[in-house]
A and B are shown apart, each in its own frame.
Chain A
Amino acid sequence: MSPVVSVFSAMLHKDLRRELRSREIFISSFLFSIILLTVIYFASTSSGVKYELMGAGALWLCITFSGTIGLNRTHQSEMVNNCYRGLILSPADGGWLYLAKVCSNWLLLSAMEVLLLPLIALFFHVDLLQSPGWLALSLLLGTGGFVAVGTLVVVITANTRMKDVLFPVVQLPLVVPALIAGVNSTEVALRGQSPWNWIQFLLALNVVFLSVGFLLYEFLLEE
């Protein structure tokens, strides 16, 4: 096994094993999403807005807020027992540690989205099977951009006194492009059309975010 693959798979394996054992991040994020969906549903009922138009927005609201909670929690678990120092002291390349961390956060958030989609269909009367391929691609790439930024920002804010407040305050403005593209792409896919323009934009965002993270993660982890 090449050194890079060894580091990447070790980190990914460790993160997923921990989450499968404790399920704390997944369960808390998912329950929060259900509460959020319920609130949005009742708010839209009383305001008379068409349910069908709310689906994509409601889904991305859940992804944004639950994802923020999840990203914060996954990094906090590295801070327990000063585990992140063990990572700093290892000869592993920080860039690959970052990609593994992004990948595990991506998988966790995507798993939550899979469970949320039927609820979105139920609450907001949307047909998920109009163009499932485009829908999946929109969610994967949008989530990728969101997670790529969040995994980096959480490291920057982790050593500040107001980290719990500062993380969403710094992260949310930075993920706005990914969120706008994600919502629009999902909305178009739910109408059964091709969101190719948005997908291209999301692809470019992912490349930029992941490259910046790959280059900066080690430096930020040490600081």
Chain B
Amino acid sequence: MTLSIQFHQLTKQFGETIALWRAEEQFHPGDRISLLGHNGAGKSTLLHILATLTKPTSGTVTWHLDGEACSDVRRVRARLSFLSHEPMLYPDLTALENLQFINRLYRRGLSDSELVGLLDQVGMAIHKDRLFRTCSRGMQQRISLARALLPEPEMLLLDEPFSGLDGEGVARMKDVFTRAHTCWLMVTHHLQHGYELANRFWIMNRGRLVHSLHKSDLSYEAYLKLCQGSKMEARNS
């Protein structure tokens, strides 16, 4: 089972503002991509379009399931997970109850002990009976990751997954991403984590996807220079 994405001339405008301009790329199985760029570069917009949450103003996104183009959005959604700034979990339910709900919605059929095991992966098993609204920002972020992993997605779309996490949380999340048998696209401002974890890099600037590079073609120094150059360019424009 494989899921890949190809997008062509992707543009998104919000009124007069161009958030994304003619972006083109492919996302293959096995890709672990860090999506980098300054604030307002269009990273989250691209992520939302690929997650099927936003429709592009023009251009096309083609999802390939097992090598065949698929236009059934529900089938695509069943095979990808999205971790956004907002946790998409109910404040008046406990961490475990939230996962039980997602488990039934996705018809995964996991037992409670398996769900607790999932929480354990992100270091939240001891807080399984705590109401979600009483958890700190970092704890909520970890539980959100457990939610994203629950459907066993073939592709993870991650919007700044390290925000709000302490050192232990970052280490756990990096460990999950390293060991996961899934490809992912991660928006991050944390350049070091972005380099360590990914095997490809997409760099955006003012709505354009300006660089698409493989890790093998890029030393850490060159990567830093490229990212900082993109920021400088944005600042000067």
Write the residues of chain A forming the contact surface with B, with a CB cutoff of 8 angstroms: 3, 6-7, 9-11, 13-14, 17-18, 21-22, 77, 80-83, 85-92
Contacts and interface: CB of A to CB of B under 8 A. Distances in A.
B89 A7 contact: no
Contacts of B102: 86, 90
B92 A92 contact: no
Interface string B66-87: 0000000011011001101011
Contacts of A86: 88-89, 102, 147
Could you say which of B51, B81, B84, B101 has the most chain A C-beta atoms within 10 Å of its C-beta? B101
A77 to B, nearest CB: 8
Contacts of A92: 105-106
A86 B104 CA distance: 13
Per CB-CB distance, the 5 closest pairs between chain A and chain B, nearest first, are A10-B104, A82-B86, A86-B88, A91-B78, A18-B92
Contact of A9 (B86, B91, B104, B106): B104
B218 interface: no
A80 B86 CA distance: 9
Given A14-B101, A90-B105, A92-B105, A81 B89 contact: yes
Interface string B29-70: 000000000000000000000011100000000000000000
Looking at A3, A13, A14, A86, which has the most chain B CB atoms within 10 Å of its CB? A86
Of A9, A21, A90, A92, the most chain B CB neighbours within 10 A belong to: A90
B90 interface: yes
Nearest to A84: B88
Nearest to B82: A89
Contacts of A11: 105
Interface of B: 51-53, 74-75, 77-78, 81-82, 84, 86-93, 97, 101-102, 104-107, 147
Contacts of A80: 90-91
Given A17-B93, A81-B86, A82-B84, A10 B101 contact: yes
Contact of A6 (B77, B82, B91, B107): B107
B92 A85 contact: no
Contacts of B90: 14, 18, 77, 80-81, 83
Contacts of B88: 81-83, 85-86, 89
A3, A82, A88, A91 interface centre (most CB from chain B within 10 Å): A91
A89 B104 contact: no
Contact of B86 (A7, A85, A88): A85
A89 B150 CA distance: 13
14 contacts: A11-B105, A14-B93, A14-B97, A77-B90, A77-B92, A80-B90, A85-B88, A89-B53, A90-B102, A90-B105, A91-B74, A91-B78, A91-B105, A91-B106
Nearest to B81: A89
B84 A85 contact: yes
A89 B101 contact: no
Nearest to B104: A10
A60 B141 CA distance: 44
B91 A81 contact: yes
Contacts of A14: 90, 93, 97, 101
Contacts of A82: 84, 86-88
